[in-house]
């Protein structure tokens, strides 16, 4: 008799816990992966920032606000997001135009809008959400796979913001915004023949892209091909980064014991090159743990996107998690010398404000399309 009531209690408790998560429209497994990566990131940031408690506290506050925003966005149904996607797209595009006219200059670029005494933010980060939302909203109302006219509309929707972002200049963000739109189109059922044709045209257009690059962007590509050609100049960053990762070995030098980072040989060690600090201090084991956490997060995100109950949710969720994968791949690739340096931070680890909020908002959308099963028709 006692065993029977214990089983009833356990079953009721599990149902109550599931009800709580469903009521909050959160996914516990995705949330656990996010908290694990963010916590590890704060530990690495403390070392990368020269034991600065200010950086850690500021980042923790930003992530706290970002988690609240994620919780808020998760409450919106996919139908609501689909309805307001166009308004969001137009608003962010107008912000990008405002950046071009009255934006704040910093570090040789004009990427920020400043509200004096309140906030400074990058509207281009918001386009990482507005772009997949809008393309998904458009294609979800069309017959799939998309036809030539639909593809032309998608390219026009993508081209204007990407051109404005590239003009700031911000090659990394423009690449991620482009990827978010391309993933929506691919998930809509684009034929492999068309993909092959577009790939061939892209390769053919590379000389044109080269001649339209800024000088510093060309230098990054040349440095990627041969960083030792200018070891004390353009090649310094990547040489020091690879040195830091390689010197960590299997087990690493220990937390806050890295020489390249602690002696400030490694540039941008708390932002774009923070993974080099992780590799030096925690070695191959630490890198493997981080990559495993990322893979679990991406796997869970793909599963959630696949379980969405409408076309808009599947397209949006799939694009968001695949763009996150590109985020990780590009940063780790550029720090390890596999890809050119394009200024993409390591998600959930690198120090930053707007990017952190944007990432969490994207995960909030992903949770929304997964948990609102009964609010949107299949």
Residues 6+ apart with CB under 8 A from 193: none
Q: What is the pLDDT of residue 360?
A: 93
Please report, for the chain, how many H helices and E strands are present, in that order. Answer: 15, 3
From the CB of residue 266, how many other CB atoms can be counted at a distance below 10 Å? Answer: 26
Residues of the chain with pLDDT under 70: 1-22, 106-108, 117-118, 210-211, 213-214, 216-217, 220, 222-234, 373-378
Do 85 and 134 contact (CB within 8 A), yes or no? yes
* Helix %, strand %, coil % of the chain (to 5): 70, 5, 25
- Conformational region of residue 241, where left means phi above 0, alpha means psi within -120 to 50, and beta covers everything else: alpha
Contact between 360 and 38 (Cβ < 8 Å): no
Coil, strand or helix at 114: strand
pLDDT given for residue 325 in this prediction: 94
Is 131 exposed, middle or buried, given 0-12, 13-18 or 19+ CB atoms closer than 10 A? buried
> What torsion, rounded to 10 degrees, do the Cα atoms 266, 271, 276, 281 define?
90
Distance of CA 376 to the CA centre of its chain: 26
What is the C-alpha to C-alpha distance for residues 104 and 235, in angstroms, rounded to an integer?
28
Beta strands in the chain (DSSP E): 104-106, 109-115, 119-121
- Whether 41 and 336 have beta carbons less than 8 Å apart is answered as no
Q: Which residues are CB-neighbours of 86 under 8 A, at least 6 positions away?
A: 134, 137
Query: Torsions phi, psi of 138, nearest 5?
Result: -70, -50
Question: What predicted TM-score, i.e. pTM, was given to this entire model?
Answer: 0.86
Q: What pLDDT score was predicted for residue 21?
A: 67
Helix (H, G, I), strand (E, B), or coil: what is residue 317?
A: helix
Distance between CA atoms of residues 243 and 164, nearest Å: 36
The predicted pLDDT at position 93 comes to 93
Give the helix ranges, DSSP H, for 263-348.
274-306, 311-335
Asked whether 102 and 86 are in contact (CB, 8 A), the reply is: no
Which phi-psi region, left, alpha or beta, contains residue 108 (left: φ > 0; alpha: ψ -120 to 50)? left
Give the C-alpha separation, 369 to 352, whole Å. 27
pLDDT computed for residue 375 by the predictor = 43
């Amino acid at each position: 008799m006692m065993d029977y009531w214990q089983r009833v209690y356990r079953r009721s408790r599990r149902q109550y816990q599931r009800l709580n998560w469903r009521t909050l429209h959160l996914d516990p497994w995705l949330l656990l992966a996010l908290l694990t990566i963010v916590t590890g990131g704060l530990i690495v940031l403390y070392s990368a920032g020269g034991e600065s408690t200010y950086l850690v506290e500021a980042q923790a506050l930003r992530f706290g606000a970002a988690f609240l925003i994620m919780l808020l966005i998760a409450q919106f149904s996919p139908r609501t997001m689909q309805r307001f996607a166009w308004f969001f797209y137009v608003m962010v595009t107008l912000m990008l135009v405002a950046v071009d006219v009255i934006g704040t200059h910093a570090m040789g670029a004009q990427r920020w809008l400043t509200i004096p005494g309140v906030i400074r933010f990058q509207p281009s980060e918001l386009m990482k959400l507005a772009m997949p939302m809008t393309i998904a909203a458009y294609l979800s109302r069309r017959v799939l796979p998309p036809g030539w006219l639909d593809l032309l509309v998608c390219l026009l929707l993508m081209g204007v913001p990407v051109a404005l972002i590239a003009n700031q200049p911000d090659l990394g963000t423009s690449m991620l915004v482009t990827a978010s739109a391309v993933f929506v189109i691919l998930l809509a059922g684009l034929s492999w023949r068309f993909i092959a044709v577009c790939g061939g045209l892209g390769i053919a257009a590379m000389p044109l892209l080269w001649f339209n690059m800024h000088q510093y962007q060309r230098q990054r590509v040349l440095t990627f091909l041969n960083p030792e050609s200018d070891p004390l100049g353009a090649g310094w960053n990547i040489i020091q980064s690879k040195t830091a990762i390689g010197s960590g070995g299997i087990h690493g030098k220990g937390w806050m014991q890295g020489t390249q980072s602690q002696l400030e040989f490694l540039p941008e060690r708390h932002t774009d090159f923070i993974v080099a600090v992780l590799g030096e201090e925690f070695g191959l084991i630490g890198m493997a743990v981080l990559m495993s956490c990322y893979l679990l997060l991406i796997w869970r995100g793909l599963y959630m996107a696949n379980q969405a109950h409408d076309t808009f949710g599947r397209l949006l969720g799939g694009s968001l998690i695949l763009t996150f994968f590109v985020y990780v791949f590009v940063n780790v690739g550029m720090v390890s010398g596999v890809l050119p340096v394009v200024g993409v931070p390591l998600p959930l680890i690198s120090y930053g404000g707007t990017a952190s909020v944007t990432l969490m908002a994207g995960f909030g959308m992903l949770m929304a399309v997964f948990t609102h099963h009964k609010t949107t028709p299949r």
